[in-house]
Chain A
Amino acid sequence: MSSKINGSAIDREIRRKNADWSYINQQPTKIRQALILFIETGDVYKAAKLAGLTVDEFEELRIKAKIPKVTFID
């Protein structure tokens, strides 16, 4: 069975590159792991739920951690 697509490699690379890793690494384990999940998948809802936060609260954290959302346009 093929593995599930978790976001394109280019999107992920942009999120990784722009992220403030020092901020991310200072966070409590649950929050840190959720931010990493977002970097890996680009999925806000899942990351927020992993962190035990609302989507609104997670968005604040994502912006503080300087992790962009990425949408490619033609």
Chain B
Amino acid sequence: MTELIASIDTCFLIEWCRYRRRELLTKAFRYAYVTEDVLAEIKSKPTLEFVSDLLSKGFLVIYPFRRQLESIIREIVTISVNDSRIRIIDPPEAYAFAIGLRENSVVLTENKGIIRLVELYGEKFPVRVWGAYQLLKFLYENKYIQNFEEELRNYTLDTHHMFPKRR
């Protein structure tokens, strides 16, 4: 069984919920932290059903120490506001990132501000950040997915998220 723990931001979870093999999330991680704000962003029946199932199984854990993250949040947001190379980071991504930093968990996000923050300030913020592509790759490497290219195509079809190759 995997020992990895995740911290999931709103946009990632809601997108992942639309993937036909969304239950694979539970194969990659032992459990995953979210903040209660994530739950407020869920409205549609399929997303509600999936998230409710993950909560009932104890896979999704509402992060209990939110107030202790505030100094990290302030620092992340301030850097993103002042460094023109980084897109401004909004609270949901900032919380997911701060949990990742504090709990040594993998941060699941597609947020380009977070990705850039780690590229530029990796020594200050040594956090593993994965998007859907990295998670699918991990699932493939651990044999939960047989055909990586096909699964990536399925993911694109279900979520309308494209992964073009950099030229």
Asked if A pairs with B, the answer is yes
Residues of A participating in the B interface, judged by any CB pair closer than 8 Å = 1-7, 14, 41-46, 48, 54-57, 59-60, 62-63, 66-74
A residues within 8 A CB of B161?
68-71
Contact of A59 among B15, B92, B162 (CB under 8 A): B15
For window 112-167 of B, CB contacts with A under 8 Å fall at: 112, 131-133, 159-166
- Expressed in whole angstroms, the Cα–Cα distance for A53 and B92 within the complex equals 15
B47 interfacial contact with A, CB 8 Å: yes
Most buried by A among B14, B90, B166: B14
**5 tightest CB-CB pairs across the interface, nearest first?**
A55-B41, A2-B84, A69-B161, A56-B43, A54-B41
B85 interfacial contact with A, CB 8 Å: yes
Query: Is A68 within 8 A of B162, CB to CB?
Result: yes
Return A41 CB to nearest CB of chain B, in Å. Answer: 8
Return B160 CB to nearest CB of chain A, in Å. Answer: 5
Query: Is A62 within 8 A of B93, CB to CB?
Result: no
- Expressed in whole angstroms, the Cα–Cα distance for A63 and B14 within the complex equals 13
B87 interfacial contact with A, CB 8 Å: yes
Query: Is A5 within 8 A of B87, CB to CB?
Result: yes
* Residue of B whose beta carbon sits closest to that of A74: B166
* Residue of B whose beta carbon sits closest to that of A59: B14
Q: Given A4-B84, A42-B112, does the pair A55, B14 have CB atoms closer than 8 Å?
A: yes
Apart from the given pairs A14-B162, A56-B47, 19 other A-B contacts in the complex at a CB distance below 8 Å: A4-B87, A43-B87, A44-B11, A54-B40, A55-B10, A56-B44, A57-B43, A59-B14, A59-B15, A69-B110, A69-B159, A69-B160, A69-B161, A69-B162, A71-B132, A71-B162, A72-B163, A72-B166, A73-B133
